[in-house]
Structures are given as structure tokens and as C-alpha cells.
Amino acid sequence: MNSYDVIIVGGGPTGLSTAITIAKKSDLKVLVLEEHSEIGNPLACGEGISTEKLLTLKNMPRVSQETNGSILKFQKEESFIEREIISQRFFFGTTGVATSNVNTVTINRPLFDKLLAKEAEEHAATIQLKSQVLGITKKNQNLEVKTQKKTFSAPLVIGCDGPSAHSVQMMNLSPPTEYVQGIEYKIEGVYTDALDFYFNFREFPKMHYGWVFPKKSHTNVGIVTDTASKPKEMLVKFVDYLNNSNMKKSAVLKEIAGIIPASGPIPKKYCDNYMVAGDAAGMTNSIFYGGIAIGIHAGMLAGETAIKAHESQRFDDEFLSKYQIRLDSFPYSDPVIQKAHEILYNKLSPEDIETFGTLLDGWDITTISSFQKIILLLKALKKPSTLRHINEVRTVAYGFSKSRDWGF
């Protein structure tokens, strides 16, 4: 039997952040079990992340900020940063373009994950590849974690196994209830300076939104849709719609696809001897479906709780509830994000979204002030049919501002 102090299921950003936190701050014996033969491969991601979050997440590999400005300086010769971006544009149908000026970066995600893994190993965490977790069972005071070849044992297991959330089901907790599909082309050439988001329900019924993210020498163009739709057909139509003939003629370098939890954080993220973090816990931003920054942060909190659990020798449900109490105090757990998701994707019609565009055209959607709320009301009064949308606009705008706090 292979005994560890903490076993982490999954070697994505959440699992690696958890491993780094524990290995850096304690002498605990940490094992990460990853089913694939390589960290960061296969991987589906738009690769956009807010700069501020990147810098405040203390587990980021070798990142620092120059004190005299917002220019990032990377200490590592091999940077995972592809491009710095200073603005976002949100296209609502054809009626309006809202903006935001959150500093973001696009990253080389496979390299980013590999650097996190390197960081974890430098702090003496063990990463075992080709190790798919098939079952977790309680034995005496520990959990036994079974892979094809070996069985491991630890008093604490942390599920970071991504959207499939198998470990959550193995522990009889409730997994995410709703998913969306994401599909993306990596297209040769760069076609925008901003992170562009397209909400166009008239042209694309069932598409939640489409994105165009610039990288160093190529562009990530993708869409998110519900699970009943045919995403590939929609992506081809979306590229066509973007109306950039150069882009249409460019080579598709790669196609990637994956699923994303969309029902918000699961209600309970711990039980005896177990915590769950990241996509496995439904912890994505359910407006934009980004989850890298949230997963890394949740991994840090799970790691810190794991250290305290070992110090107190308490691995019971009551002690581990401290983890969820901390998670709930961060903006990404705010239920308004889920409400905004419901309004945007399950309630608003194409006409509604166009009204939304008319009301918000030219505004920074992530920082709507009280004064702007009054202007919003006056605009709506001029066109009484829009009045019923005011509260929805406010909820969605508030949801967007939480996204500003926690990245897209």
C-alpha cells in the first residue's frame, strides 16, 4: 500500500495549485494522480485570463509585476504569456457594443499547466501520470484510492478531476447538474487587439456566446452552446459571420472541444476525508465559463485547509466545512452570477438581447455606476417596451462586474 498525507485527483490547474500550496507550506507527503500521460495534453481552453487575478494568485509560476506600471515582467525565459490585452468588447446582436477595460492576457495553456507541475515537483510533490482513479473507498480512518495498477491511501483526498466530476460521484456528493459545450479553432493570423465576446441570439439561437481571442501569431475563435446543439456547425457559421475575409481564408491550425459545468458551484464541496475544487465542484464563471483563476484560488484554499486538518488531525465533515465557508466569501460564489446566467441564456429572447445592446451601447459593462443606472432608467422610459428589462439588465451587469473581479 502506498500511503500519503494528501492525494489529489487530477493534474489540471486546480489540482496543481492545491499540490503547490500544500508542498510549499508544509512537509506533508502529497500525491497528484493524473490519468493522461502528459500534463496539459489533451486540453481545451480559450486561454484568456485576467492579469490581476494572475498576479494575485500566489501560486502562479514565476510571475511578477513591475512596480512602476501595469507592464508585466516575466522572470522566466520561456514565458507562458502570449499577449497582453487592455480591453474587452461585448457585441450584443448588431445593436450595441459594450466595453470593459480589465487587463487580461492570453496564455499558452499547455505550457502554463506544465510550469505549475514543475513548481509542484520542485516543492517535492509527487505527480503520477497514466493513473486514472477508478474508485475511492473508506478503509478504517483513511480513503483508499484505486487506479488500474495500484491502490493508494490517505486520510485526505482532494477531487480536482475537472468537469467529469467522477470523484464527486464516488464520494456521494451532488455533481454539477448543467453543462455547456465549448469548441474552438486556432486560426492562423491575428484579427483583433481586444478580447471580443459576441452575444447574438438572433443569428445563433442556442449559442451562449462566441469569442475571438488574439494570441502571439494566431487567434482563438470559439463558441459555447448548450449540450443539445451541434457545436461544430455553429462554429463554422460563426467564423463566417465574423465577416473578416482574411480570417475565413486562413488555415485552421487546430480544433479543440470540451465540456464546462454551467450550474454554478455544487451545494456541498466536502465530506469526511474529502474536499473538491475547480471544475469538479462546478466552480466556473457561469456567464463566461472561465475557470482557470477560480480553480487555482479554490485549490489554494483547499490546500490551506488540508494543512490545518493535518495539524489538528481532524479529517471529519465538520472540520472540513471551514473550506466551504472560506470559498463562499469570495465573489465567484456570489449567486448573482448564476442568476445572470439564467437571464442571459435561458430567458432573454433575441429581441431582448438587442434591447440590451441598445441600452448599454458604448458603456463599460463591468462598472455601471448609480448615475448610469438613472440614465439607464431614463433611456428605458423613452422606449416603454424596454422598461421590463431594467432589472434584468441590472442583474446581468452586476453579474458582469463580478466577472471583472474574478476574470472571465
Sites of contact with ligand FAD (CB under 6 A): 9-15, 33-36, 44-49, 132-133, 160-164, 166, 182, 184, 222, 258, 260, 278-279, 284, 289-293, 295
> Closer CB to ligand FAD, residue 212 or residue 380?
212
> From the CB of 129, what's the least distance to ligand FAD, in Å?
9
> From the CB of 114, what's the least distance to ligand FAD, in Å?
12
> Closer CB to ligand FAD, residue 340 or residue 359?
340
Q: Are 242 and 212 in contact (CB under 8 A)?
A: yes
Closest CA to 164 of 56, 10, 272: 10
Closest CA to 125 of 39, 47, 36, 1: 39
> Closer CB to ligand FAD, residue 287 or residue 393?
287
Quote the CA–CA distance of 361 and 363 in Å, as a whole number: 6
Amino acid at position 95, single letter? T
Quote the CA–CA distance of 113 and 339 in Å, as a whole number: 31
> From the CB of 68, what's the least distance to ligand FAD, in Å?
28
> Closer CB to ligand FAD, residue 379 or residue 402?
402
> From the CB of 220, what's the least distance to ligand FAD, in Å?
8
> Closer CB to ligand FAD, residue 92 or residue 211?
211
In angstroms, the Cα distances linking 89 to 50, 96, 199, 244, 357 are 14, 10, 11, 17, 12
> From the CB of 313, what's the least distance to ligand FAD, in Å?
27
> From the CB of 349, what's the least distance to ligand FAD, in Å?
26
Rg of the Cα atoms in the chain: 22
> From the CB of 385, what's the least distance to ligand FAD, in Å?
35
In sequence order, which residues have a C-beta less than 8 Å from that of residue 350 and are 6 or more positions away?
A: 93, 200, 201, 202, 205
> Closer CB to ligand FAD, residue 106 or residue 355?
106
DSSP assignment of 341-401 equals HIIIIII--HHHHHHHHHHHTTSBTT---HHHHHHHHHHHHHSGGGGGGHHHHHHHHHHHH
CA dihedral 31, 37, 43, 49 (to 10 degrees): 40
Which grid cell sits at 216?
Answer: 502571439
Q: What is the DSSP letter of 331?
A: G
> Closer CB to ligand FAD, residue 295 or residue 303?
295
> Closer CB to ligand FAD, residue 35 or residue 364?
35
> From the CB of 390, what's the least distance to ligand FAD, in Å?
30
Quote the CA–CA distance of 215 and 126 in Å, as a whole number: 32
